[in-house]
Amino acid sequence: MEFVFKRPESLIDVPFHFCPGCHHGIAHRLVAEAIDYFKIREKTIGVASVGCSVFMYDYFDIDVLEAPHGRASAVASGVKRALKDRIVFTYQGDGDLGAIGIAEGIHTANRGEPITLIFANNGIYGMTGGQMAPTTLLGQKTTTSPYGRDFTYDGYPIRMAEMMATLEGSAFVARVAVNNPANLMKAKKAVRKAFQMQIEGIGFSFVEFLLACPTNWGLSPLEANRRVEEEMIPYFPLGIFKERKMADYL
């Protein structure tokens, strides 16, 4: 019998610890598929962040370095500067990149470090138990915005992809979702493109994933999937915000 669908080689054959209906596993898989596609498993170094994504080293069959909370993009820049011919990526949550590590993320992009940032935006702090994230939507209830996020108290959800795209240093910026097969296929393409930008030395690449967090949203997996479509995508539009064709400079 012929295999038509199998586990990517870059993923280790262990069950994910992620909650039922969580989209992290799908995003992990898409990254692993891109690594397989370009046959770069043996030259890729992943940088794990702090949050649900910290256990990356349990799942990816590659060298992995664990960064302090928020610092993954600086850590990854250090790796890349030391080993310029390797492929380096981070996988960071919204607290990691959008809050505590926003300076490191922006300056990494601004320096045009030829690395790839995978940004997992589920609008909530998953690992710590459902607190407000910088990307939590207005009105959204979390354990630290029990009355719903109010911009007069908490400000607005940050659109990271759009912000990254404004920086001259970024070469490829996209926002994707995996809530349905059509979006998933676009996400797969975007991740592949992001790694390609790095492999070809074109520059810094950034893919924001809108991910469901049913557990902390207090929804069933199906309801959470619907919420991505109905509430997240209208505020965080999907698409490619920037795509350089070559390593160009001002």
Partner 1 sequence: MDQSAEKILVKGNEAIAMAAIDSNCLLYFGYPITPQNDIPEYLSKHLPPLGGEFIQAESEIASINLLLGASATGKRAMTSSSSPGISLMQEGISYMAGSELPAVIVNISRSGPGLGGISPSQGDYFQATRGGGHGDYRVIVLAPSTVQEMYDLTCLAFDLADKYRNPAMILGDALLGQMKEPLIRKKPPSLPLPPKDWALTGAKGRKPNRIKSLYLQEGELTEHNWKLYQKYERMKKEEVRFECVGCEEADLVIVAFGSMARVAKTVVELAREEGMKVGLFRPITLFPYPEKPLYELSRRVKRFLTVELNTGQMVEDVKLSVDREAEVYFYGKPPGALPTPEEVFEEVKKSMG
- Which residues contact partner 1 (rule: CB under 8 A)? 41-45, 47-48, 54, 57, 60-68, 71, 74-83, 86-87, 103-104, 107, 111
Identify which of residues 183 and 196 has a Cβ nearer to partner 1 in the complex.
196
Query: Contact 116/164 with Cβ under 8 angstroms?
Result: no
Place of tokens 């991505």: 228
Identify which of residues 55 and 236 has a Cβ nearer to partner 1 in the complex.
55
Place of tokens 């059509």: 182
Structure tokens at 5: 């669908």
Identify which of residues 50 and 224 has a Cβ nearer to partner 1 in the complex.
50
- Helix, strand and coil content of the chain, in percent to the nearest 5, comes to 40, 20, 40
- Shortest Å distance, C-beta 176 to partner 1: 26
- Shortest Å distance, C-beta 47 to partner 1: 7
Task: Read off φ and ψ for residue 201, nearest 5 degrees.
Answer: 70, 20
- Shortest Å distance, C-beta 105 to partner 1: 10
Query: Contact 239/177 with Cβ under 8 angstroms?
Result: no
Identify which of residues 33 and 186 has a Cβ nearer to partner 1 in the complex.
33
From the list 211, 232, 228, 21, the residue with the least C-alpha distance to 138 is: 232
Identify which of residues 79 and 228 has a Cβ nearer to partner 1 in the complex.
79
Identify which of residues 83 and 247 has a Cβ nearer to partner 1 in the complex.
83
- Shortest Å distance, C-beta 66 to partner 1: 4
Cα separation values, 197 from 81, 188, 192, Å: 17, 14, 9
- Shortest Å distance, C-beta 214 to partner 1: 23
- Shortest Å distance, C-beta 67 to partner 1: 7
Q: Please tell me the distance from the alpha carbon of residue 88 to that of residue 77, in angstroms, as a whole number.
A: 8
Task: Read off φ and ψ for residue 42, nearest 5 degrees.
Answer: -85, -5
